[in-house]
């Protein structure tokens, strides 16, 4: 097994323990946990780590101090910064100083694993190629076999070197952010930040101040001038996910930035010049939103200088088995390294299913099947319930499960997305989150623990 040495630093013992509990599920990770940043700096100077996961704000030394020490010792060390609400711009600055990525609280265990997987992907190209079926291919972390994806990725290579705006469309779970990151990584901007922002994650007033920044006194509580994320993305790529959720007021400001390459902070008069490439993504029809006057037509045409449409998984069935095999061998490697495989009937069920949740649903299905299996072979009976009888949600297998387990299988994804949204909107405040959700504090804490959502109150 190829072990990865990971140093985790946080001066709050509770957060450190939570990170250890989550990451210890992967035997391939060798964890070193330190709650004293000064001690962590000494360890970095003495020991080689594959990855450093550090909180940004700590009492003695900051995450920036950790970053400088790690890269000074070995520039190949990957550093991921964990940031709380309102400190994203500092994390983006850390990326400009050499950090690999940043992770904003609240975040789920799955999102944490996704970040680590992405960080180690470049180092594991050899293992990844071995995991693929003989006919599968990998490009910038994207697994494919179909002609549709091969043509799409050729287009990605052609447009990456240009500075044109790009709109990526496709259903949820098709991998729009992966395509956006591939464009960035293949471009001349690859050494500068790639900053993803979900347009539906925050109320419009908070979203505006986060993106464009604000001047001191611009509104109640604006006690200092704060640059926006666009400023910290200068010379990099700004990824606006679910841009169809952006309000009309923000659309006007974004259009002006695209046309004039300048922005103004909230409450400010000074124009700030920017060199930022915009990549947007949506699972909605922007054309329909334009017709309903919910999206500006002029902004739509600005964003669609180049349009990339990712086909749903059901329209590229050749990709299903290479992706499933990749996910299966990855989880095998992370859990003691024992290889397992799909039976022929399981493979038939995988290719027959329409995958309404696309690649994300396929990955979840493979992960569940791995833990349900009773041997080294995944059988048809191990696959999650929707694969059996696609036309009927409440099928025979669901009816055999206890009510709570059946309900959890359907509601887990909803609970994570819903709770994460409200925690972000309420800056991690449990009382306000409970009020906005119509639940009590105990229920919120129970859901946070159930889904291992990381945040700071």
In this structure, what CATH number is given to the domain that contains residue 326?
1.10.8.60
With bands split at pLDDT 50, 70 and 90, how would you rate the model's confidence at 91?
low
Is there a single domain that holds both residue 183 and residue 288? Answer: yes
Residue ending a domain, among 311, 328, 352, is: 311
**225 inside domain:** yes
Is there a single domain that holds both residue 183 and residue 318? Answer: no
Instruction: Report pLDDT for 407.
Output: 66
Tokens of 253: 């400001």
Burial class (CB in 10 A: 0-12, 13-18, 19+), 137: middle
Instruction: Please state, in angstroms and rounded to a whole number, the distance separating the CA atoms of residues 141 and 152.
Output: 14
Tokens of 308: 């990339």
Say how many domains are in the chain: 4
For residue 177, what is the domain's CATH number? Answer: 3.40.50.300
Is there a single domain that holds both residue 174 and residue 284? Answer: yes
Is there a single domain that holds both residue 166 and residue 262? Answer: yes
Is there a single domain that holds both residue 166 and residue 293? Answer: yes
**354 inside domain:** yes
Predicted confidence (pLDDT) at residue 120 exceeds the cutoff of 60: yes
**297 inside domain:** yes
Rounded to two decimals, the pTM is 0.65
Higher pLDDT, 274 or 408: 274
SS3 assignment, position 7: strand
Mean of per-residue pLDDT scores for the chain: 84
Instruction: State which residues form the domain around 414.
Output: 406-451
Instruction: Report pLDDT for 130.
Output: 43
Segment among 78-82, 126-130, 325-329, 398-402 with least mean pLDDT: 126-130
Predicted confidence (pLDDT) at residue 165 exceeds the cutoff of 50: yes
Strongest mean pLDDT among 188-192, 294-298, 388-392: 294-298
Report the pLDDT averaged over residues 283-307.
93
With bands split at pLDDT 50, 70 and 90, how would you rate the model's confidence at 133?
very low
**131 inside domain:** no
Pick left, alpha or beta for residue 213 (phi over 0 → left; psi -120 to 50 → alpha; otherwise beta). left
Segment among 215-219, 374-378, 395-399 with least mean pLDDT: 395-399
H/E stretch holding 83 reads strand 78-83
Is there a single domain that holds both residue 211 and residue 181? Answer: yes
Predicted confidence (pLDDT) at residue 227 exceeds the cutoff of 80: yes
Give percent helix, percent strand, percent coil of the chain, each to the nearest 5: 50, 15, 35
Burial 254-266 (b: 16+ CB within 10 A, else e): bbebbeeeebbbb
**249 inside domain:** yes
Predicted confidence (pLDDT) at residue 457 exceeds the cutoff of 60: no
Is there a single domain that holds both residue 167 and residue 307? Answer: yes
Is there a single domain that holds both residue 421 and residue 390? Answer: no
In percent, how much of the chain has pLDDT > 90? Answer: 37
Instruction: Please state, in angstroms and rounded to a whole number, the distance separating the CA atoms of residues 104 and 326.
Output: 27
Instruction: Report pLDDT for 398.
Output: 47
Is there a single domain that holds both residue 12 and residue 119? Answer: yes
Is there a single domain that holds both residue 348 and residue 414? Answer: no
Predicted confidence (pLDDT) at residue 136 exceeds the cutoff of 70: no
**145 inside domain:** no
φ/ψ (deg, to 5) at 303: -75, -25
Is there a single domain that holds both residue 301 and residue 190? Answer: yes
With bands split at pLDDT 50, 70 and 90, how would you rate the model's confidence at 393?
very low
For residue 119, what is the domain's CATH number? Answer: 3.40.50.2300
**144 inside domain:** no
Is there a single domain that holds both residue 173 and residue 276? Answer: yes
**148 inside domain:** no
Q: Measured on CA atoms in the order 327, 333, 335, 339, is the torsion positive or negative?
A: positive
């Amino acid at each position: 097994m190829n072990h990865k040495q990971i140093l985790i630093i946080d001066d709050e013992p509770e957060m450190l323990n939570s990170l250890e509990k989550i990451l210890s599920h992967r035997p391939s990770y060798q964890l070193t946990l330190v709650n004293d940043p000064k001690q962590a700096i000494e360890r970095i100077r003495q020991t080689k780590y594959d990855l450093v996961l550090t909180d940004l704000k700590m009492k003695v030394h900051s995450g920036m101090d950790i970053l400088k020490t790690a890269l000074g010792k070995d520039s190949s060390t990957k550093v991921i910064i964990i940031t709380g609400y309102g400190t994203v711009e500092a994390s983006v600055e850390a990326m400009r100083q050499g950090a690999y990525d940043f992770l904003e609280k609240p975040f789920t265990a799955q999102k944490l694993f996704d970040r680590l997987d992405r960080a180690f992907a470049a180092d594991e190209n050899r293992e990844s190629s071995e995991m693929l079926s003989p006919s599968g291919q990998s490009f910038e972390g994207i697994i494919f076999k179909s002609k549709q994806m091969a043509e799409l990725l050729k287009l990605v290579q052609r447009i990456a070197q240009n500075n044109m705006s790009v709109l990526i469309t496709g259903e949820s779970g098709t991998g729009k952010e992966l395509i956006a990151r591939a464009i960035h990584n293949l471009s001349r901007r690859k050494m500068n930040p790639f900053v993803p922002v979900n347009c539906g994650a925050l109320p419009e007033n908070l979203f505006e101040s986060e993106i464009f920044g604000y001047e001191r006194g611009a509104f109640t509580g604006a006690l200092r001038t704060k640059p926006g994320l666009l400023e910290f993305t200068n010379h990099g790529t700004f990824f606006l996910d679910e841009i169809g959720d952006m309000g009309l007021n923000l659309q006007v400001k974004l259009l002006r930035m695209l046309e004039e390459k300048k922005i103004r902070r909230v409450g400010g008069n000074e124009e700030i010049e920017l060199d930022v490439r915009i990549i947007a993504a949506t699972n909605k029809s922007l054309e329909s939103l334009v017709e309903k006057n919910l999206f500006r037509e002029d902004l739509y045409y600005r964003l669609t200088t180049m349009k990339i449409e990712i086909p749903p998984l059901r329209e590229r069935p050749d990709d299903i088995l290479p992706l499933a095999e990749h996910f299966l061998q990855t989880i095998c490697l992370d859990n003691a390294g024992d290889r397992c495989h799909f039976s022929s009937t399981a493979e038939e069920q995988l290719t027959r299913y329409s995958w309404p949740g696309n690649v994300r649903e396929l990955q979840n299905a493979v992960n569940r099947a791995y833990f349900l299996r009773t041997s080294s072979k995944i059988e048809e009976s191990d696959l999650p319930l929707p694969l059996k009888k696609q036309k009927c949600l409440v099928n025979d297998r669901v009816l055999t499960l206890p009510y709570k387990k059946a309900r959890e299988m359907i509601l887990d994804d909803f609970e994570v997305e819903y709770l994460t949204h409200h925690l972000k909107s309420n800056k991690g405040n449990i009382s306000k989150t409970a009020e906005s959700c119509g639940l009590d504090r105990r229920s919120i804490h129970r859901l946070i623990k159930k889904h291992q959502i990381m945040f700071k109150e």
